[in-house]
């Protein structure tokens, strides 16, 4: 391969560039990113960046020195518009075309939009929201109680705003944590004095002078100065419509991140790897290693099976989860204790068990035992797949 193009200049795209050089690729490397910013880290956007504890310099994933070492051409603020797989050409919105031998798709996902509400996905989103949040105490309504919604709500509460969280499902994080632990984590909202309503969908937003009226499915209406939607993300695959790649809630690839074309791999939030699309920071940093190995080899050699891992910081508590929960798993608190249906003062560690085997582990403010349990899970997976 003489030219490799990476479309997407965020976490997964940057890690793919690093892996290409680390694995000895010395040809031309082009990185295309639709945002004008060099690669930055998104997790702090809903946490320390929003509260003002961290500024933009803390978000940078790379610096000029490293970028020089990667010896790549960075086309930032440029959006890809299409892919001609037969001609091996990436089409850009500014009319340029890039002929390429290999392609890494790392276009991520975009926040599901809700007109009239802020979303929080990009640095520009976070800048806009942060500016609004510094205008004195306000009524904030957060739609969606998942990770982004909960973290954003916690940051708004820490800044002294009056916060209401709305969740359409009976509990947030049900698919990820199961009912028992979803309920435990949901208590963090109430303990922080945040109003928390579940099982109620939003039917619409209306401007009423300076405020926004949030109409609920149960007939009630809330008034908000600021509305924030954290209602999921949609993989950025529209630019691939009409290409020969298989799409379906992401770019479909095998367990080695390889698409139907061996010269095209996909990593990060946009990739549906072996049937699973994981929107986790750790997936975006782990997948590029195997993807690049397979891209350079021209076939699937590496099919890693890492244990999924995510973390979330909410209301001063750190939630960490590793493994896979399935309905029917038994959940036991094995360290620490629960207090009033929430985490005890010293946090806790819970194990999810299936047929007598630990399949997942959840910790609130118990990082050391969590790391130990996460490593055990990793070893168990290695044993099972070798």
Partner 1 sequence: MIPVCRQEDLPEGESVRVDTAPPIAVFRTDDGSLYAVDDTCTHQDASLSEGWLEGCLIECPLHAAAFDLRTGVPTCLPARHALRTHLVTVEEGVIHVHVTVREGTAA
* CB of 26 or CB of 65, closer to partner 1: 65
Interacting residue ranges for partner 1, rule: CB under 8 A: 15, 18, 41, 43-44, 48, 54, 61, 63, 66, 281-282, 285, 311, 318, 320, 367-368, 370-372, 375
What's the token pair of residue 165? 């969280």
* Shortest Cβ 150–partner 1 spacing (Å): 17
Q: Which among 226, 198, 261, 263 is positioned nearest to 4, based on CA atoms? A: 263
Within a 10 A sphere around the Cβ of 274, how many other Cβ atoms?
Answer: 13
* Shortest Cβ 69–partner 1 spacing (Å): 12
Give the integer Cα–Cα distance in Å for 72 and 145.
39
* CB of 152 or CB of 312, closer to partner 1: 312
Give, in degrees to the nearest 5, the angle at Cα 284 between 186 and 124.
75
Give the integer Cα–Cα distance in Å for 312 and 279.
13
* Shortest Cβ 46–partner 1 spacing (Å): 13
Is residue 318 within 8 Å of residue 364, measured between CB atoms? yes
The overall longest dimension of the chain from CA atoms, in Å, is 63
* Shortest Cβ 282–partner 1 spacing (Å): 8
* CB of 59 or CB of 163, closer to partner 1: 59
Give the integer Cα–Cα distance in Å for 245 and 45.
32
* Shortest Cβ 306–partner 1 spacing (Å): 11
* CB of 10 or CB of 300, closer to partner 1: 10
DSSP for 283-328 reads HHHHHHHHHHHHHHHTS------PPPEEEEEETTEEEEEEE---TT
* CB of 54 or CB of 158, closer to partner 1: 54
* CB of 42 or CB of 88, closer to partner 1: 42
* Shortest Cβ 367–partner 1 spacing (Å): 4
Q: Crossing angle, helix 11-22 and helix 281-297, to 10 degrees?
A: 40
């Amino acid at each position: 391969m003489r030219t490799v193009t990476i479309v997407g200049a965020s976490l997964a795209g940057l890690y793919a560039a690093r892996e290409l050089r680390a694995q000895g690729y010395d040809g031309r490397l082009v990185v295309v990113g639709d945002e004008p910013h060099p690669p930055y880290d998104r997790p702090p956007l809903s946490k320390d960046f929003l509260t003002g504890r961290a500024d933009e310099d803390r978000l940078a994933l790379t610096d000029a020195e490293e970028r020089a070492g990667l010896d790549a051409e960075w086309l930032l603020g440029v959006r890809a518009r299409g892919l001609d797989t037969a001609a091996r050409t990436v089409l850009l919105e500014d009319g340029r075309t890039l002929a390429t031998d290999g392609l890494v798709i790392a276009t991520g996902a975009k926040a599901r939009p809700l007109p009239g509400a802020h979303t929080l996905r990009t640095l520009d989103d976070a800048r806009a929201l942060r500016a609004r949040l510094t205008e004195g105490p306000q009524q904030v309504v957060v739609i969606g109680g998942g990770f982004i919604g909960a973290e954003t709500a916690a940051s708004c509460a820490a800044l002294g705003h009056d916060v209401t969280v709305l969740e359409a499902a009976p509990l947030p994080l049900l698919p990820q944590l199961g009912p028992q632990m979803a309920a435990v984590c949901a208590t963090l909202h109430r303990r922080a004095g945040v109003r928390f309503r579940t099982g109620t969908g939003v039917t619409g937003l209306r401007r009423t002078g300076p405020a926004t009226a949030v109409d609920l499915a149960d007939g009630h209406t809330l008034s908000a100065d600021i509305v924030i939607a954290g209602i999921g993300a949609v993989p950025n695959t529209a630019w691939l419509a009409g290409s020969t790649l298989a799409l379906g809630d992401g770019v479909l690839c095998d367990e080695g991140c390889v698409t139907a074309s061996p010269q095209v791999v996909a990593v990060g939030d946009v990739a549906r790897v072996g049937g699973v699309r994981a929107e986790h920071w750790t997936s975006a940093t782990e997948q590029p290693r195997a993807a690049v190995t397979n891209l350079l080899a021209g076939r699937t050699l590496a099919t890693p099976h890492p244990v999924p891992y995510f973390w979330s910081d909410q209301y001063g508590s750190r939630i960490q989860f590793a493994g896979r929960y399935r309905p029917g798993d038994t959940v036991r608190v094995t360290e620490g204790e629960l207090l009033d249906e929430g985490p005890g003062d010293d946090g806790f560690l819970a194990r999810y068990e299936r047929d007598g085997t630990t399949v997942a582990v959840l910790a609130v403010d118990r990082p050391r035992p969590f790391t130990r349990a996460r490593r055990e899970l990793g070893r168990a997976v290695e044993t099972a797949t070798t």
